[in-house]
Amino acid sequence: MREEIIRISEDEIARQREFAQKVRFHPDRPKTYFIVTYGCQMNAHDSETLAGMLEDMGLTAAAEKTQADIVLHNTCCIRDNAERKALGNVTWLKEIKKDRPELLIGVCGCMIQQAEMANKLLKQYPFIDLAFGTGNLYRLPEYLLEAIENKDRVIRVDREASTVAEGLPVRRENDIKAYITVMYGCNNYCSYCIVPYVRGRERSRLSDDIVREAELLVQSGVKEIMLLGQNVNSYGLDSAEGVSFAKLLRRVSRTGIERLRFMTSHPKDLSDELIDEMACNPVIAPHLHLPVQSGNDRILREMNRRYTREHYLQRVQALRSAMPDIGLTTDLIVAFPGETEQEFQDTLSLVEEVRYDSAYTFIYSPRKGTRAADMPGKIDAAVASERIERLIAAQERITGEILSGMHGQTAQVLVEGTSRRRETQLTGKSGRNINVNFTGDASDIGKIIPIRITGAGSNTLRGEKEE
């Protein structure tokens, strides 16, 4: 099934704003909200949009989930544990609702978008008042008004996921760093992955909309922007604009933003044009998240990743010859169906060869509806956890070696705040995206300053301000 890409019209967004005004002046509306977010940065940013819409309706953030009048769970279903955690927390709220029947419980995000999930919620979770999917998030004002006026459940899980809505209000979590989603969805259909089913097909925002958003962020004092997409390298391929991701990066870097990051890059689409742009553009941080998943060609083929180990290593080499100091990070899956010990060792040896700054490691989790879920060769749970432990141990050693090797170097640190323990202890991130702690004062917050590295912990650096 090929879904249509639907660009939500300005009229529709205006209609939602009218619903928002009606909610704002409704005597029975919830006064406070709490959002529980699971999953990736894109979900985190969607939650900022949900918060923006709720505040537009006059609600304010509650300090505790148990005190809020409405609790929204923005869910993830990438692995089974993400889903169980969300459902567990939703169920826990049922007890709170017994004491406070006016509490509205909402569920949205990727988990909801799965086939059969809406029915399951309707039947097995009668205490859920409000549910909507990823493609109709922009209609929250309409749904909330309906829930308040009819005092009835509103379950609007549209299987249609491929929408683009511009101009929604956003309440950002951080004054220094901000996310901008540049494209939604994914067309890659890696055989283990649920994302293409729950986030719809790839659709890029127009570059002018993205640049305008970046300009407004710069004006409001934001220092770092992270551009988000499941595979940013295919940005623009679905639109007639003819703006590649490398060109988009260049345009955004000229808005006056001090530091620019992006994720995620699919290795099959990592172009020389992008590597060149990263190498010659000082605003783009010297860090790339390049998920490899496995170091074995047969497994990569079964995963439908559409690159080989050799191609991946060649891309790493191209990156490092253009930028000797670039930091690389990755995602790795162990115990994919049929993975042999030898095939797993290929992943280990790739990790040794590339030497990532850090890696996210996952045990394969079957997702209903994906191709891999029907593959034979399920790996025993004990074998899977033994593999992931070996992989984590190898990566921790490499991270330790890389961090200790930074002793004496100078890192450009965007200072984000004080540490929880001491006011004079400041913390920020280097260009390579590594946490750096140093002694300074509050006037450093929000600046990029040079810090001489004097020591390393297991995944953070210590340093001193350069005179």
Only one of the segments 55-63, 139-147, 363-371, 440-448 lies at the binding site for ligand SAH (rule: CB under 6 A); that segment is 363-371
Q: Is 267 exposed, middle or buried (0-12, 13-18, 19+ CB in 10 A)?
A: buried
Q: Confirm or reject binding of residue 351 to ligand SAH (CB under 6 A).
A: no
If residue 119 lies in a helix (H) or strand (E), which one and from where to where?
Answer: helix 117-124
| Residues of span 254-273 touching ligand SAH by CB under 6 A | 264, 266
DSSP 369: T
C-alpha distances (whole Å) from 418 to each of 8, 21, 325, 426, 437 are 41, 38, 27, 4, 9
Single out the residue of 111, 161, 333, 414 in contact with ligand SAH (rule: CB under 6 A).
333
Residue 188 interacts with ligand SF4 (CB under 6 A): yes or no? yes
- Tell me, rounded to whole angstroms, the distance of Cα 319 from its chain centroid: 23
What part of residues 86-145 is at the interface with ligand F3S (CB under 6 A)?
Answer: 110
Are 332 and 293 spatial neighbours (Cβ–Cβ below 8 Å)? Answer: yes
Report if residue 305 touches ligand SAH, rule: CB under 6 A.
no
Rounded to a whole number of angstroms, the minimum distance from the CB of residue 72 to ligand F3S is 14
Is the CB of 71 or the CB of 78 nearer to ligand F3S? 78
Q: Which residues, numbered 148-207, are part of the site for ligand SAH (CB under 6 A)?
A: 192-193, 195
Give me the DSSP letters along 112-140.
Answer: GGSTTHHHHHHHH-TT--EEE-STTGGGH
- Rounded Cα–Cα distance for residues 41 and 78 (Å): 13
Yes or no: say if 403 and 434 are a contact pair by the CB < 8 Å rule. yes
Task: Decide which of ligand F3S, ligand SAH, ligand SF4, none touches 196; Cβ closer than 5 to 8 Å per partner kind.
Answer: ligand SF4
Contact residue for ligand SAH among 207, 329, 365, 437 (CB under 6 A): 365
Residue 418 pairs in a beta bridge with 426
User: Counting contacts by CB under 6 A, is residue 182 touching ligand SF4?
Assistant: no
Q: Where are the alpha helices (DSSP H) in 284-363?
A: 297-302, 309-322, 341-354
105 interface partner picked from ligand SAH, ligand F3S, ligand SF4, none, CB below 5 to 8 A per type: none
Query: CA-to-CA distance for 118 and 135, rounded, in angstroms?
Result: 14
Token readout for 1 is: 């099934």
Q: Which residues bind ligand SAH (CB under 6 A)?
A: 78-79, 192-193, 195, 230-231, 264, 266, 291, 293, 331, 333, 362, 364-365, 367
Q: Which residues bind ligand SF4 (CB under 6 A)?
A: 186, 188-190, 193, 195-196, 230-231, 266
Q: Which residues bind ligand F3S (CB under 6 A)?
A: 39-40, 42-43, 76-78, 110, 194-195, 198-199
